[in-house]
Structure 1
């Protein structure tokens, strides 16, 4: 099965370039395009026997067709390439890769949210007698939480900091400053939103990802503040409506 089953055909451009072809030549050209699209690398071997088979025509007729159809292709290194078709093929491959990476990032973000929702403090075991001492449990420090230092390799928090540090240091931010900045974003909007912003900036190949992420964080924070203001405004309006109706004691809790 072809990697991309649907062949893109831009009819205006196609008809504009092929007005000189006969019906038979149209059919042969389209067959070559289809086979090329279904072939790894989106190219055809420069082999007259195979090309004749792809075009569903006897070898003798193909030899007459070849000089008519070959100008539509670029022939190099033993293969026929249709430039426009290859551009579309590479574009779809790029989109497929981006979607795959976005899906992985989304899965990591969801895992972070689930981990955050499901994390509950575990009570330490009671001492059974005066001589038995519970095994000491390491207490994570604020430094490790805020900078990602010391996190296990499979820890989503380490994934967050590793991705962010790689992005920021790659555009000139010192590692220590990058860790501090990521920790700040994490405190403001949470791990999942921070990871999503880092992945989006990386995929967009931004020259100044730090400034872009900072703007996104501020926008998220502004949206949350706006939601809270809207809730307070609705509550005040409801209380005022009850007051005008003479039902001040029936308003929402906190507005009586």
Structure 2
């Protein structure tokens, strides 16, 4: 499919008629804000070894490696959390969709907090976020504002006890948040699955979304084809912000 093609009228009709949507978002929703994604060609993992002097790309989110060398993660954090990064039109579209009472559940794989910055009220961050953190030595809890100073400079934030403050971002080797795992096992009833900006290659989010896809109407919007396109009722390949504008004009106006 070509980039930025006109949306299928049946897709738009489905969006308009649905009132209890499960939305799952990934890195593709934030790339137009200037945030690098992880797995696409030219993404973080393709450049991480050289840029951050890592033994392997995923080490930057490996909890065992973090305990040995936390500096690369905090350098990356500064890039992800630059103060001038703003939510995208697609983030704002979801805020308006929520305000209309059409979103039942919003799950994001992203750790950039842009859904919250845009104004979404109820977001399940299945990979955690920088909103809170914890001292790895004494266990003291912190709010983002308490450790954002060094974080935005790419420096390691320290507790008064001398321990490192680790943001509540989920690393490889750590458990996912209870808020998501409860959702994963409950599988609440919804009337539409809307997947935005993810190739669904990361578990358990992939199996969570794909469990819904064959059973209810489903829409996948991603810049590139995914291995799971055939599982969805409608697939649109194109820029997420273009999708959001067309959907807003036809569904919310």
Q: TM-score, normalised by structure 2?
A: 0.21
Bigger RCO of structures 1 and 2 (CA < 8 A, at least 6 apart): 2
Q: Hey, which of these two has a bigger chunk of strand by percent?
A: 2
Q: TM-score, normalised by structure 1?
A: 0.21
